[in-house]
Structure 1
Amino acid sequence: MSNIGLIIEERSRDIGSFLVGRLIPFRKKRMIGPFIFIDHMGPSKVGPTHFLDIGQHPHIGLSTLTYLFEGEIMHRDSIGTAQKITPGSVNWMTAGKGVVHTERTPGELRSGSEHVLHGFQIWVALPRELESMEPEFFHAEHTALPRWKDNEASYTLVAGEAYGKRSPVPVHSELFMVEIKCQDKYELDTTLLNLKGEIGVCIVEGYIEACGERIEQGNLLVSKEEDVCRLAMGEHTHVLLFGGKPFEEERYIFWNFVSSDKVKIEEAKKAWKEKQFKMVDGEKGYIPLPE
C-alpha cells in the first residue's frame, strides 16, 4: 500500500552522525538495512462516510509489515488470507514471486462513528535467493510479541532480533524493529540492544536529542555508521527503531514491485497490465499500473 495522503512529509538534512529525513526511500538514503519503504499512516480520522479502501494491487520481491497504534484494517489477499489487524498486532505478508491484496476499513466500523487510524506500513526487501519464493502470510497477536521495560522506557520487539530476544514474525533476513515509549527523559543506547547493521529511528511522538540538535516527531533519523547512536528521548516520546544488515546487491523499485533484477520488474508490470496475477476472491476492484 502506498497511501500518499497519509504520509508525514519532512525534508532530509545532514546533522553530523545522522541523516534526518522524511521516510524511505529518500534522496540521500534509499534503504535502511533490508527496509526499503516506510509509510506513516495518520493519525487520520476515518468514517462515518470516508474509509480506508485500497483495492486490489500487486507486490513482488518483498514482505509487507503492517503495525497499528490505533484503528483497524481488514487484509485480504490472493492466497486466501482474510485477517483483521488491530493495534499492537502484526500482519506480515511475503509477496515473493507475486501476490495481490486489499486493505479496507472492516465492515463493523463502517456503520459507526468517526475513529482514528494510525500506524505504519513497511516494506522489507527479500534476499535475492528468496525473491521468487511462494507467497506467505503470518499474523502475530500483540500478546505474542516480546515486551520488556528498562527504567522508565517500555519496549516491544515487533520483528527480528534485539536485546537477546526474537519476535515470532518469520522474517527472511537479519533485521530488527523495536517500538520504544517513555514518559520521562530516557537515554537510549542502541549498543545495549545488540543491534546489527544500519539503524533508523522514526519519531512517532515527542522528540529526540541527537548530535546537539532536537529532532521533533514526524522525522526519520538514519545512523551513518554502526553503533554510533546514543540518543536522548524526550518526555512523552514514542519511537520505532529499525534496520539490519544491508544487502550486497542494489534493489530496484517501481510502484509496488521490488527486485534485484530489473527484468523481473518489467515482467511484473506486463503481468499486471495483462491481468495475469491471481486475484483476491470476492474482490472486483483493480488499481491500474501507473504510467
Structure 2
Amino acid sequence: MSNINLIIEERSRDIGNFMVGRLLPFRKKRMVGPFIFIDHMGPKSLAKDENLDVPPHPHIGLSTLTYLFEGEIIHKDSLGTEQLIKPGAVNWMTAGKGIVHSERTPDKLRNTETNLHGLQIWVALPLDKENMEPTFTHTEAEELPSWQEDGIHYKLIAGSAFHKVSPVPVHSDLYFIEIKAQEKRTLNIGNELYGESAIYILEGEISTEDQSFGNKQILVAKESSLCEFTIHENTTIYIFGGHPFEEERKIYWNFVASSQETIDKAKEDWKRSKFPKIPNEEDFVPLPG
C-alpha cells in the first residue's frame, strides 16, 4: 500500500510585483506538522528596472523562515533589524504578538540584472508562544549542520533530526532538511523523522513504489516512519514536518492564530496603525479587502 497520502502541485500566486509558487496551505492539507505556509520564489530573472519590493506588513502567531538559492534580500523589521540574506543562510523571524517587516532588493543590486530564487516558509507557533515577544535571528550557511553519506549531501536547515540540531531557534518539534544527490540512491530515513512529514521536490526526480515524481510537487506521507524512496541523479529535495498541534490554526492574510478573536484584533490594529513601525519606512501594505 502506498505511503503517499497526498500530492500537492505548486500553484501560481501574485504577491504584488512578484509571482510565486504556492505550496501550502492547500485545501486538503492546511498544515504539515507546524508548517502552515510555503511559497517557492522564482527562479526569477530581474531586469535592471525590476526589484523585489515588499513594503512593511505585519505578522502574528508564526515564525518566518527565508532560505535563498540565488540572489540577495535585505530584511528590515520593527525591532530595528536590518539584515542582508544570501543563499544558504537562514533568516528566522518570530512574530509572536506582532511584528512588521519589509523585504527588498538591496541597494547595491538595484539597477543591475539579478536572479532571485528561494523559499518563504511560515511555521505556526505553539499555543503558549503565540503571544511571545517578537525576535529575529540570522544564521549563516556555514553554521548549519551539513554532512555527506553514501554520496548524498544533507543539510539540517532548522529543527532536529539525524541526531543533529540546527542552531536556528525554533519553538516546537520540527525539521527542515535539504537533501542533494548527484547519483541515484535509495534512501530509507523514516527512523530519523517524526510526526507528520512531507517531501518537496525542488529539481530532479524521486520514485517510490513504481511511481515517479518530478519538480514542483509536495508528497505528504501517510506515516513518516515509512519514508523510503529512490532519489535520482541531480535531484534536490526538502523534507519538512514535525509534531502537529492539537489546536486548529486559523490563517488570514499574514496572521496565524488559534482563535478568531486574535485574528480580528490584529486586523483592527493594522487598520488603526497600532503595530510597531520599521525605522525610516513610511509605506505599507494595506489590509486586504
Please give the range of the TM-score, normalised by the shorter of the 2 chains.
over 0.9
Q: Secondary structure of the residue that 2:269 maps to in structure 1?
A: helix
4+ aligned runs moved over 4 Å, structure 1: none
Q: Secondary structure of the residue that 1:227 maps to in structure 2?
A: helix
- The answer on whether the counterparts of 2:3 and 2:221 sit within 8 Å (CA) in structure 1 is no
- Report the Cα distance in structure 2 between the residues aligned to 1:224 and 1:27, rounded to whole angstroms: 17
- Report the Cα distance in structure 2 between the residues aligned to 1:211 and 1:81, rounded to whole angstroms: 47
- Report the Cα distance in structure 1 between the residues aligned to 2:154 and 2:263, rounded to whole angstroms: 37
Residue in 1 that maps onto 2:13: none
Aligned residue type for 2:180: K
Residue in 1 that maps onto 2:15: none
Q: Secondary structure of the residue that 2:225 maps to in structure 1?
A: coil
Q: Secondary structure of the residue that 1:51 maps to in structure 2?
A: coil
Cα deviations across residues 74-132 of structure 1 (Å, max 9, x unaligned)?
000001110010000000000000000000011101132x2211110000000011000
Residue in 1 that maps onto 2:48: 48
What pairs with 1:134-283 in structure 2 (closer than 5 Å)? 134-192=133-191, 194-283=192-281
Cα deviations across residues 26-59 of structure 1 (Å, max 9, x unaligned)?
1111100000000000111123111110001000
Aligned residue type for 2:97: K
Cα deviations across residues 231-262 of structure 1 (Å, max 9, x unaligned)?
11111000111100000000000000000011
- Report the Cα distance in structure 1 between the residues aligned to 2:237 and 2:41, rounded to whole angstroms: 15
- Where does the alignment leave 5 or more consecutive residues of structure 1 unmatched? 1-14
Aligned residue type for 2:177: V
Residue in 2 that maps onto 1:11: none
- Report the Cα distance in structure 2 between the residues aligned to 1:124 and 1:189, rounded to whole angstroms: 26
Q: Percent identity?
A: 53
Aligned residue type for 1:19: L
What pairs with 1:27-106 in structure 2 (closer than 5 Å)? 27-106=27-106
- The answer on whether the counterparts of 1:17 and 1:211 sit within 8 Å (CA) in structure 2 is no
The structural deviation recorded for 1:136 is 0.1
- The answer on whether the counterparts of 1:21 and 1:220 sit within 8 Å (CA) in structure 2 is yes
What pairs with 1:19-34 in structure 2 (closer than 5 Å)? 19-22=6-9, 23-34=23-34
- Report the Cα distance in structure 2 between the residues aligned to 1:60 and 1:261, rounded to whole angstroms: 12
Aligned residues: 275
Q: Secondary structure of the residue that 1:148 maps to in structure 2?
A: strand
- Where does the alignment leave 5 or more consecutive residues of structure 2 unmatched? 10-22
The structural deviation recorded for 1:71 is 0.5
- The answer on whether the counterparts of 2:3 and 2:226 sit within 8 Å (CA) in structure 1 is no
- Report the Cα distance in structure 2 between the residues aligned to 1:181 and 1:98, rounded to whole angstroms: 36
Question: Structure 1 225/32 Cα, relative in aligned 2: closer, same or farther at 3 Å?
Answer: same
- The answer on whether the counterparts of 1:162 and 1:176 sit within 8 Å (CA) in structure 2 is yes
- The answer on whether the counterparts of 1:47 and 1:110 sit within 8 Å (CA) in structure 2 is no
- The answer on whether the counterparts of 1:187 and 1:231 sit within 8 Å (CA) in structure 2 is yes
- Report the Cα distance in structure 2 between the residues aligned to 1:16 and 1:222, rounded to whole angstroms: 9
- The answer on whether the counterparts of 2:3 and 2:223 sit within 8 Å (CA) in structure 1 is no
Q: Secondary structure of the residue that 1:272 maps to in structure 2?
A: helix
- The answer on whether the counterparts of 1:58 and 1:98 sit within 8 Å (CA) in structure 2 is yes
- The answer on whether the counterparts of 2:70 and 2:118 sit within 8 Å (CA) in structure 1 is yes
How much is the aligned-residue C-alpha RMSD, in angstroms? 1.0
The structural deviation recorded for 1:168 is 0.2
Cα deviations across residues 191-216 of structure 1 (Å, max 9, x unaligned)?
24x21111111100001112321111
- Report the Cα distance in structure 1 between the residues aligned to 2:49 and 2:209, rounded to whole angstroms: 45
- Report the Cα distance in structure 2 between the residues aligned to 1:224 and 1:51, rounded to whole angstroms: 41
The structural deviation recorded for 1:16 is 5.8
Residue in 2 that maps onto 1:12: none
After TM superposition, the structure 1 stretch with the greater mean CA deviation from structure 2, 256-265 or 19-28, is 19-28
